[in-house]
Amino acid sequence: MRVLAIMCHPDDMELSCSGTLIKCKKRDDDVIACHAANGNMGHVVIQPDDLRAIRIAEAKRAAALGGFEVVTTDIDDLCMNSADEEQRKKFIRLIRWARPDFIITHHPDDYCSDHAELSKLIFKASFDASCPHFYPELGAPTGVTPIFYSDTSRSVNFIPTEYVDITEEMELKEAMLACHESQLKWLLDHDGIDIIAVQRARAADRGSQCKVKYAEAYNQLLESQRLRTYRCLP
């Protein structure tokens, strides 16, 4: 299979679905990780242009550990906008290029506007990409792609429909997250949050719900044309 994870900031993929993507690689899937935003506002000292370069480099190092292909649509933090036609076109182009069998992205009810707006953009773009006369210059049309929404921040307002056992993938998941040094330090200094410990606790909680040590949880978008007769997640 071809798997496209379109997450917002450089570290959202590692926090939310990297264990699943590692497991996809183990079954010989092609995995593409897209960071939609460039993370340029994620610090109080480092200036946006410098931070953008740092965070894109951190994302590349993390993806290399997992063996994923990594791309960015390079949208500034706090500027994700589902009504922006140029952003919509970026994701149509991405989906037509990647030609995924399924997409993982944020839940539309996640905690920040960037996440919520990205979720709306991917819902739109993944259908738009199937229409051959809609921006044909952006690539050949695809099918209407299944979407799986990743767990929300702290699992608030999220009821899973599927789980993935990531017990064996947890060590690599945490090594990938540790590549995001600028964000880990900022969150610890600014908010007192040890994000590695937080994500481990969430994975343990989701694991307890499905009788494994660690798990990642998903909510499948249950809409016509996006359903399949087989399981997509590993």
Could you give the C-alpha distances from 37 to 74, 93, 197, in angstroms and in order? Answer: 5, 16, 24
Q: What percent of the chain lies above the pLDDT cut of 70?
A: 100
In this prediction, the residues of the chain whose per-residue pLDDT falls under 70 are none
Neighbour order of strands in the sheet with 162-165: 69-75, 30-37, 2-7, 102-105, 147-150, 215-220, 162-165
* DSSP element (H, E) containing 181: helix 181-191
pLDDT at residue 186, as a whole number:
83
pLDDT at residue 187, as a whole number:
86
pLDDT at residue 179, as a whole number:
97
| Model-wide pTM > 0.85 | yes
Burial of 76 (0-12, 13-18, 19+ CB in 10 A): middle
Give the pair of three-digit tokens for residue 96.
């037509």
| Sign of the torsion formed by the C-alpha atoms of 118, 123, 129 and 131 | negative
105 beta partners:
6, 149
Give the pair of three-digit tokens for residue 37.
């935003």
Name the packing angle between helices 170-178 and 195-209 (round to 10°): 160
Residue 191 CA to residue 188 CA, distance in Å, equals 6
b/e map of 26-57 (b: 16 or more CB within 10 Å)? eeebbbbbbbbbbbbbbbeebeeeebbebbbe
Contact in structure between 179 and 11 (CB atoms under 8 Å)? no
pLDDT at residue 189, as a whole number:
84
pLDDT at residue 156, as a whole number:
94
